[in-house]
C-alpha cells in the first residue's frame, strides 16, 4: 500500500450503519442492553433491554466504534459488552486498509471540527451527505496508521489513569473532610474515635456532635473584619494591574483559586477601594447567585480586589488558621447549614449580618493547623493530578493536529522518542 498521504472523505473510510428504531414494545428487563446516546456519553446507566434477535449490523461488541450523529456529536469505542444499538447512532465499520483505532482518532478529531461548524445550533445533526463532503488527510500505509493510533491510544490511557487518580483522591478527601471536621485530631496526632464508639469524648452543639475540647464561635468573634466588595468596578477594568476576584474564580472543589478567567483592574485610590483590597489568609464567601462558595487568599497572590458579590472575612491570625476555617466553611456541615439558609429565604443572597453570625467549629490552634495541613495535602495532590491531566490533554490535542494531518510523520517521531531512552539505558 502507498506511503503517500491521501485525501479521503469520512464516508469512504468505513460503513456507517444506523441503529435500530426501538420503541416501548421492544423494551424488556431481559436480553442485551439497548444503547442510546445517554449510555455512550455516560450520563445514564442501562435502562432497557431487548431479548429478541436482530441482524448483526445492530449489535455492538467491545471495541466497536459508535458515532452519535444527532443531538450530541460524539465518537466512542464501546467497552460495555454485547448490546443493541439504538437509532441516531452509527456503528462504524472500517473500510479495507483502514485501521480501526486510527479511524477512531480521525473521527474524534472530525467530530470536534464538525461541532465548531455547527456552533450556535441548539440541535447538532450530521447527515450522511456531510460525511461524503467532509475530507481528511490520511496515510495510505496501514502500518503508519496503526503507529499513529498507538501513540494516541497511549496518551488516552495516561489521561484515563490520571482521571481515575483524581476521582480516587476526591473520594479520599470526602472521607477526610467528614472525619477531620467531626472528630478532629487528638494530642497524639491521631483521629479521635467516632462519637458512637467514645461518646464521652464529644458534646452536642449547634453544629452537631463535636469533640469536648472544641468550641463553636461566630465568624465575627474571631475576625478583625467582615465586609463585602464594592459595586461599579467595570470602569476600572484594564489589560494589566491588580487581580479582580469574582465568584467565577472560586470553586466548590477546594478552597484554592482558579485563575482561568482573571480580570485585571486599575483600582481607585479612595477608601472604598482600600476596604476591598485582599490580604493573605482572607476568607472569601460568595453571597449572591451560587451561595456559599469559599476561597482563601494565598500567600504571593499580589494586589487583588473583590466585587459586591463576595464577602470578605479577615480572621485574627493569632487565633485562627484561615485555611482550617475555609475548609470547615466549605465542608459538608457548613454547606448543609448554608443550604438551609437558602431554603429559608436567602435565595436573593446572604447579607453581612448573616455572614458575621455564621458559626464555625473552633479547636485549639495546634489542632486547626494539623487539620488544615492534612486537607491541604490532599488538595495539592488533586490539583497536581488535574494539572497533569490538562497537560496530557493538551499534548494529545497537539499531536492529533500534527499526526492526523501528516505535519509530523510518525516514524521520525518514534525514533526521536526512542533515542533518549537508548542513551539512558531504558
Using one digit for the tens of pLDDT, what is the confidence trace for 340-382?
A: 886 555 556 788 999 999 999 999 999 999 999 999 999 999 9
**Domain range 5-139, its CATH number among 3.90.1150.10, 1.10.760.10, 3.90.220.20, 3.40.50.2300:** 3.90.220.20
**What is the reported pLDDT for 250?**
94
> What is the spatial distance between Cα 164 and Cα 22, in angstroms, rounded to a whole number?
34
Per mean pLDDT, which range of 15-24, 220-229, 250-259, 345-354 is the poorest?
Answer: 345-354
Q: Are strands 70-71 and 59-60 parallel, antiparallel or unpaired?
A: unpaired
**Looking only at Cα atoms, what is the longest distance across the chain?**
80
- Locate CATH 1.10.287.1120 in the chain: 141-196+363-426
> What is the spatial distance between Cα 364 and Cα 366, in angstroms, rounded to a whole number?
5
> What is the spatial distance between Cα 241 and Cα 259, in angstroms, rounded to a whole number?
15
Q: Are strands 14-18 and 89-94 parallel, antiparallel or unpaired?
A: antiparallel
- Locate CATH 3.90.220.20 in the chain: 5-139, 215-362
Mean pLDDT for the stretch of residues 8-20: 95
Q: Is domain 141-196+363-426 classified as CATH 3.30.200.20?
A: no
* Whether pLDDT at 225 is above 60: yes
Percent of the chain with pLDDT over 90: 69
pTM: 0.78
According to the per-residue pLDDT averaged within each range, which of 150-164, 252-266, 340-354, 399-413 is highest? 150-164
Using an 8 Å Cβ cutoff, are 232 and 358 in contact? no
Using one digit for the tens of pLDDT, what is the confidence trace for 281-316?
A: 999 999 988 899 999 999 999 999 998 899 999 999
Q: Which residues, 6 or more positions from 283, have their beta carbon under 8 angstroms from its beta carbon?
A: 219, 294, 295, 296, 297, 312, 313, 314, 315, 322, 325, 326, 329
Using one digit for the tens of pLDDT, what is the confidence trace for 72-101?
A: 889 999 999 999 999 999 999 999 999 999
Fold of 215-362: Adenine-n6-DNA-methyltransferase TaqI; Chain A, domain 2 (3.90.220)
Say how many C-beta atoms besides its own lie within 10 A of residue 297's C-beta: 22
Mean pLDDT for the stretch of residues 316-336: 93
Amino acid at each position: 500500500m502507498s506511503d503517500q498521504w491521501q485525501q479521503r472523505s469520512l464516508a469512504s473510510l468505513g460503513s456507517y450503519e444506523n441503529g435500530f428504531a426501538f420503541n416501548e414494545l421492544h423494551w424488556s428487563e431481559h436480553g442485551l442492553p439497548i444503547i442510546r446516546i445517554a449510555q455512550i456519553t455516560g450520563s445514564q446507566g442501562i435502562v432497557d433491554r431487548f431479548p429478541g434477535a436482530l441482524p448483526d449490523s445492530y449489535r455492538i461488541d467491545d471495541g466497536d466504534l459508535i458515532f452519535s450523529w444527532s443531538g450530541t456529536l460524539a465518537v466512542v469505542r464501546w467497552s460495555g459488552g454485547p448490546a443493541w444499538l439504538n437509532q441516531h447512532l452509527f456503528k462504524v465499520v472500517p473500510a479495507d486498509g483502514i485501521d480501526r483505532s486510527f479511524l477512531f482518532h480521525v473521527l474524534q478529531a472530525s467530530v470536534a471540527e464538525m461541532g465548531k461548524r455547527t456552533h450556535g445550533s441548539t440541535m447538532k445533526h450530521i447527515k450522511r451527505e456531510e460525511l461524503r463532503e467532509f475530507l481528511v488527510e490520511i496515510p495510505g500505509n496501514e502500518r503508519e496508521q496503526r503507529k499513529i493510533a498507538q501513540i494516541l491510544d497511549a496518551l488516552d490511557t495516561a489521561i484515563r489513569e490520571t482521571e481515575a487518580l483524581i476521582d480516587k483522591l476526591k473520594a479520599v478527601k470526602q472521607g477526610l473532610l467528614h472525619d477531620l471536621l467531626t472528630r478532629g485530631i487528638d494530642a497524639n496526632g491521631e483521629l479521635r474515635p467516632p462519637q458512637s464508639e467514645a461518646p464521652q469524648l464529644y458534646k452536642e452543639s449547634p453544629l452537631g456532635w463535636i469533640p469536648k475540647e472544641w468550641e463553636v464561635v461566630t465568624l465575627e468573634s474571631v475576625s478583625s473584619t467582615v465586609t463585602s466588595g464594592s459595586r461599579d468596578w467595570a470602569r476600572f477594568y484594564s489589560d494589566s494591574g491588580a487581580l479582580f476576584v469574582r465568584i467565577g474564580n472560586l470553586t466548590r472543589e477546594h478552597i484554592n483559586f482558579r485563575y482561568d478567567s482573571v480580570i485585571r483592574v486599575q483600582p481607585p485610590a479612595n477608601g472604598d477601594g482600600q476596604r476591598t483590597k485582599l490580604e493573605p489568609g482572607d476568607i472569601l464567601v460568595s453571597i449572591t447567585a451560587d451561595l456559599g462558595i469559599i476561597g482563601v487568599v494565598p500567600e504571593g497572590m499580589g494586589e487583588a480586589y473583590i466585587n459586591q458579590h463576595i464577602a470578605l472575612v479577615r480572621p485574627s491570625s493569632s487565633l485562627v488558621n484561615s485555611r482550617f476555617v475555609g475548609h470547615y466553611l466549605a465542608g459538608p456541615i457548613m454547606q448543609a447549614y448554608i443550604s438551609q439558609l437558602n431554603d429559608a429565604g436567602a435565595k436573593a443572597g446572604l447579607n453581612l449580618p448573616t455572614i458575621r453570625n455564621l458559626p464555625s467549629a473552633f479547636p485549639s490552634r495546634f489542632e486547626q493547623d494539623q487539620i488544615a495541613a492534612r486537607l491541604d495535602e490532599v488538595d495539592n495532590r488533586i490539583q497536581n493530578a488535574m494539572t497533569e491531566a490538562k497537560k496530557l490533554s493538551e499534548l494529545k490535542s497537539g499531536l492529533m493536529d500534527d499526526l492526523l494531518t501528516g505535519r509530523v510523520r510518525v516514524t521520525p517521531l518514534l525514533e526521536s522518542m526512542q533515542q533518549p531512552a537508548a542513551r539512558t539505558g531504558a
